[in-house]
Amino acid sequence: PHLVRALHRGYRTATPQNFSDYDSIKRDFKLEVPEYFNFARDVLDKWTDMEKAGKRPSNPAFWWINGEGKEVRWSFEELGVLSRKLANILTEVCALQRGDRVIIILPQIPEWWLANIACLRTGTVSIPGTTQLTQKDILYRLQSSKAKCIITNDAVAPAVDTIASECENLHSKLIVSPNPRDGWAHLTGLMRHASDSHTCVRTKHDETMSIFFTSGTSGSPKMTGHTHSSYGLGLSVNGRYWLDLTPSDVMWNTSDTGWAKTAWSSVFSPWTQGACVFVRHLPQFKPTSILQTLSRFPITVFCSAPTAYRMLVKNDMASYKFKSLQHCVSAGEPVNFEVIEQWRSRTGLDIYEGYGQTETVLICGTFKGMKIKPGSMGKPSPAFDVKILDKNGNVLPPGQEGDIGLRALPNRPLGLFTHYIDNPRKTASTLRGDYYITGDRGYVDEDGYFWFVSRADDIISSSGYRIGPFEVESALNEHPAVAESAVVSSPDPIRGEVVKAFIVLNPNYKSHDEDQLKKDIQEHVKKTTAPYKYPRKVEFVQELPKTISEKIKRNELKKKEWEKI
């Protein structure tokens, strides 16, 4: 409680941090973890008190639109009332107890937020999943997580009914739909009569709060366990330092409810700061809808994936004005320099990059007030000790490429996951000496800025050179014919491995002579980056394989290349 009071004092006086003095912020940074911590009780309900005492601007806590005229605006108090009702439904109707696991597969609808808060209040462990999961995916998730309850909608319920008999732990199903369904508890009906009086459980700070599946960019998604304090307190660092949020801000993050990124930027980071969580339900990514929303609503902080920014700048943005927008951030993949430039020329705003994983909170970020080095991920979060390491766990000096790691021993830092569920071997494999190894490669420069090179698995070694795909892709993407590209290793009888580029062409180049275009593009890369990196092999494709969260699955392309021999 002492800590939370301190945090709230901080929020009230929250002035944007000036990161021009990064070193002193890092030195003075301290986030103590209380023995008991529950985000609903210690943060959300505190904001309700502040709201009632007139100490928070009259900004909704939650603002949702569906683009077809439906709109929901809730204060912290309303969020409290509704989530307490749902908490009572979870314990009474669904018979869930503290520690039981609950899979939530819902699109970006308000009930998703209520369900997550209800899990916090009851101490049940939430496991978010995207609505794009197939029947097979859902079966895998229900079985591997041993979830006792599933909360979903009409679109997903039939798939659940088909496989439910194979999931021995699943004993309750809650449907979010205008209509009841046989064998399912009906949320809308139950909410009408549920009591809004509920006492939030006193969770220990290190009790498991949620299990997040990773994106599955380089293999099967991993189940990542986070405690109540890990995201609940740890993400205050994102909210305060990277997103630069205060209670008068309106924050919109576009990611799908199925990913940890939504917990990051549409739940914990904004609400630790008392900011408004803005949501536009977008069943499909439509650049014009995003641009319209950004120009029509008083959104001050915007977060999206690099792929989304890439698609947005391809649109004619001149007809939109972004009057309220102040701060834009991106995470999940590297952002190409070109996109940063184009975004700035159209909005007058920079894209502040953030780097992190499902397993962590923000690891590195470009913070407001700090000099931006485009293409760099910025500096380490004040909460983490981030280093570049060699294969023996020695810390490497600036300029040398190695594995990105963060100190995890003797004290595991707040914001680092506890373990991969039921996978002690995988968990143990992430430790090297005193460091947690992210699985990403990078280097740090003389000024302490970190630069992402690639995922460790994506590095290409050709004729003694080590090549990261991102640099080559960035060079390729600058060519006018290239819409998107993915660069992977491909077998070669002489060199062992060579660089191969898969390229999606811009529509107006699709009828060009492919051989000529290929040579042209290769020449362009040789000129733009060190010549040894140019793709010796080029294949034009209609589209690139991506995860549901829109990340390029290079390892799938690479696997096909190597299977050919």
Which residues in this chain contact Mg ion in the complex, by CB under 5 A? 214
The minimum distance between CB 522 and ligand ATP, in angstroms, equals 25
Helix (H, G, I), strand (E, B) or coil at 491: strand
Residue 185 forms beta bridges with which residues? 174
The minimum distance between CB 213 and ligand ATP, in angstroms, equals 8
The minimum distance between CB 560 and ligand ATP, in angstroms, equals 17
Applying CB under 6 A, among 332, 415, 469, 535 the residue interacting with ligand ATP is 332
Our finding on whether 60 is near ligand ATP (CB under 6 A) is: no
For ligand ATP, the binding residues in 487-516 under the rule CB under 6 A are: none
The minimum distance between CB 442 and ligand ATP, in angstroms, equals 8
The minimum distance between CB 131 and ligand ATP, in angstroms, equals 17
C-alpha 516, offset from chain centre: 40
497 binds, among Mg ion, ligand ATP, none (CB under 5 to 8 A by kind): none
Q: Looking at beta carbons only, is 217 or 257 nearer to ligand ATP?
A: 217
For ligand ATP, the binding residues in 409-438 under the rule CB under 6 A are: 438
What residue has token string 């995890």? 408
Our finding on whether 45 is near ligand ATP (CB under 6 A) is: no
Q: Beta 435-444 vs 402-407: how paired, if at all?
A: antiparallel
Our finding on whether 403 is near ligand ATP (CB under 6 A) is: no
Region from 99-107, 211-219, 278-286, 473-481 binding ligand ATP, contact rule CB under 6 A: 211-219
511 touches 476 (CB < 8 A): no
Q: Looking at beta carbons only, is 174 or 552 nearer to ligand ATP?
A: 552
Number of helices (H), then strands (E), in the chain: 20, 26
Q: Which letter, b or e, does each residue of 96-110 get, where b requires 16 or more Cβ atoms within 10 Å of its Cβ?
A: beeebbbbbbbbbbb
Site string for ligand ATP, 280-319 (x = CB under 6 A): ----------------------------------------
Number of residues that bind ligand ATP (CB under 6 A): 25
4 burial type by CB count under 10 A (0-12 exposed, 13-18 middle, 19+ buried)? middle
Q: Looking at beta carbons only, is 33 or 456 nearer to ligand ATP?
A: 456
Q: Which letter, b or e, does each residue of 473-497 get, where b requires 16 or more Cβ atoms within 10 Å of its Cβ?
A: bbbbbebebbbbbbbbbbebeeeeb
Q: Looking at beta carbons only, is 64 or 367 nearer to ligand ATP?
A: 367
CB atoms < 10 A from the CB of 202, how many? Answer: 12
For ligand ATP, the binding residues in 351-370 under the rule CB under 6 A are: 353-358
For ligand ATP, the binding residues in 534-553 under the rule CB under 6 A are: 551
Our finding on whether 440 is near ligand ATP (CB under 6 A) is: yes
Residue 538 forms beta bridges with which residues? 501
Q: How many residues does the structure list for the chain? A: 565
Q: What one-character-per-residue DSSP string does 110-150 give?
A: HHHHHHHHHHHHHT-EEEEE-TT--HHHHHHHHHHHT-SEE
469 binds, among ligand ATP, Mg ion, none (CB under 5 to 8 A by kind): none
CA distance 408 to 434: 6
Interface residues with ligand ATP (CB under 6 A) are 214-219, 221-222, 331-334, 353-358, 377, 438-440, 452, 455, 551
